Amino acid sequence: MVDDNGSMANKIVTIERYIFEQQISNDSDDTGELTNLLYDLALSAKYIAKRTNRGDLPEILGAMSIPQTDADEQMDLNQYAETIIHRLNDHTGRLAVMASEEHAHIIPIPERYPTGEYVLLYDPLDGLSNIDYNVSIGTIFAIYKRMSTGNAHGTLDDCLQKGANLVAAGYVIYGSSTMLVYSTGNGVHGFTLDPVIGEFLLSHPNIKIPSTPRYYSVNQGYQIHWPEPTERFTKWLQGGDGREPLSLRYIGSLVADFHRNLLAGGIFYYPADTKNSERQKGKLHLLYEAGPLAFLAEQAGGYASDGCQRILDIQPTDLHHRVPFYVGNRELVEQAEKFMRDGGE
């Protein structure tokens, strides 16, 4: 079990074992369905990691006319990730409905399969445009309990829930190593995939955002499109009032930027801007990106906002509701809200 410092001393702890022990100690999943759903997502991550680690090899091998033994290799990477998550979760009887950033509408459970009490929302591969440059990309997931009653199939309203209703959320980062980070409302825990034995092993128990932030992460290439409060906030982060400046670190892959700041301290933000009419409302998806990462941030002692209100309190109005997003150390995000509210005066 976890000791007083949150470590699993002298134990090799697989993700399956950790989730199961949390279930027992917290008595929060007496049916075991949430536990098994998390297992299924970990299995999905193993499949996707295997493919992402091959980079362009499937395409190169195909160009050399070498026969493919797996039809999945013919899919593009995003389609492959989408298909794997779908296939591993549509038949288990654990889910009432799914939704994906890649689909315009909800993904119903096929009629031939039973439905369950949970709702799964996911972004199969966030930051995919970076894969050609060997930059880390990720999968993000969010789990709710259904709101509809009975054994019927889930509905759109089951998916359109506030982040405050989340029962679990997490992400997988595919980088120099593959890590799965998740929370069920009892802290944030990270697991690193050991490719030799094919298991996620506990490597980062009870993650807390460091109290002293180090980095700010934003695409300053869009600065000419920012409103004045965002520019003033950025100058404040750079030490504009004599405070110790933060260092700029921006990868352009949401999961990777969030993961670094989760471990090192800081703030990531993607503000509204005037580049086009849609971006004035924000760019990031509330259900598939901002919501689950906000849940993790708060579980790690941080905070997330759209610049005006807590992300987890925003009621989504459609599956692809977009928001401005500020996430990281609480004092930095609250300072961002102050600048958005009154210019920081």
Structural domains of the chain in order of their starting residue, each with its CATH number: 15-204 (3.30.540.10), 215-342 (3.40.190.80)
pLDDT in tens, 102-155: 999 999 999 999 999 999 999 999 988 888 888 999 999 999 999 998 778 999
CB 121 within 8 A of CB 144: yes
d(CA 102, CA 77): 13
User: For the segment 161-218, what is each residue's pLDDT rounded down to a tens digit?
Assistant: 999 999 999 999 999 999 999 999 999 999 999 999 999 999 999 999 999 999 999 9
The residues facing 170 across adjacent strands are 141, 182
User: Is the distance from CB of 260 to CB of 324 less than 8 angstroms?
Assistant: no
Could you tell me if residue 265 is left (phi over 0), alpha (psi between -120 and 50 degrees) or otherwise beta?
A: left
The overall average pLDDT reported for the chain is: 89
Q: Is the pLDDT of residue 47 over 60?
A: yes
| Cα 177 to Cα 57: distance, rounded to the nearest angstrom | 18
pTM over 0.75: yes
Return left, alpha or beta for 136; rule: phi > 0 is left, psi -120 to 50 is alpha, else beta: beta
Under 8 Å CB-to-CB from 242, ≥6 apart: which residues?
none
Check pLDDT > 80 for residue 61: no
Q: What is the DSSP letter of 169?
A: E
Q: What are phi and psi of 283, to 5 degrees?
A: -110, -35
Is the model's pLDDT at 75 over the cut of 90? no
What are the backbone dihedrals phi and psi of residue 93, each rounded to the nearest 5 degrees, phi first?
80, 5
Which of 37, 9, 4, 6 is CA-nearest to residue 23?
37
Q: What is the rounded distance in angstroms from the CA atom of residue 95 to the CA atom of residue 109?
A: 7
Q: What tokens were used for 344?
A: 């920081």
**Token pair for residue 295?**
């849940």
Reported confidence tier of residue 20, pLDDT bands at 50, 70, 90: confident
Please state the separation of Cα 283 from the chain's center in Å. Answer: 15
Helical (H) or strand (E) element with 35: helix 33-52
CA 54 vs CA 132, 165, 214, 289, 317: distances in Å: 12, 37, 33, 25, 38
Q: How far apart are CA 233 and CA 323, in angstroms?
A: 18
Count the helices and strands in the chain (H runs, E runs).
Answer: 9, 15
Q: How many other C-beta atoms lie within 10 A of the C-beta of residue 115?
A: 22
Distance CA 303, CA 274 (A): 25
What's the Rg (C-alpha) of the chain? 20
CA separation for the pair 341, 345 (Å, rounded):
9
CA 152/CA 97 separation, integer angstroms: 10
pLDDT for the residue numbered 72: 43
Instruction: Judge whether 118 and 137 are in contact, CB under 8 Å.
Output: no
**pLDDT band (50, 70, 90) for residue 228:** very high
d(CA 85, CA 8): 30
CB of 36 closer than 8 Å to CB of 30: no
User: pLDDT-based confidence at 9, cuts 50/70/90?
Assistant: low
Tokens representing residue 180 in the block: 């799965």
Structure tokens at 183: 């929370």
